[in-house]
Amino acid sequence: MVGMKTGFSMCGVAALIVGMFLVYNSLSVSVAERRHEIGILLALGATRDQVWRLFAGEAFVLGAVGAALGIRSAWGCPTSACAPCRTPSAKSSPA
């Protein structure tokens, strides 16, 4: 049983690392594609801190939405998959 818990914990850590890499990759591509827009923002008077907060906010929203969807699917998939395996309750059985 301890080995299974360790295995699941290691899988969870691996999933977090992959998720962090995907968010980083998405933001790197976003910055590379929006270099022109960043230059315009800086030319119009935006500070580097404001541009950084723009991308940090985007990263936060992306991570929060991904986490919410991941938690929902991680909760819903086993629940719906195990639903047919449950025994009927005492109220629904014929008397």
Cα–Cα dist 76/12, whole Å: 17
The pTM for the full model equals: 0.57
pLDDT at 87: 66
In what helix (H) or strand (E) does residue 52 lie, and over which residues does it extend?
Answer: helix 48-82
Closest CA to 62 of 28, 35, 32: 28
What's at 54, amino acid-wise? L
pLDDT at 89: 61
Cα–Cα dist 75/77, whole Å: 6
Q: What is the pLDDT of residues 17-39, one digit of tens each?
A: 998 898 789 888 888 998 999 99
Q: What is the pLDDT of residues 35-78, one digit of tens each?
A: 999 999 999 999 999 999 998 898 889 889 988 998 888 887 77
Average pLDDT estimate for 9-15: 90
Cα–Cα dist 56/59, whole Å: 5
- Cα separation of the two ends of the chain: 40
Cβ atoms within 10 Å of 42's Cβ, excluding its own: 13
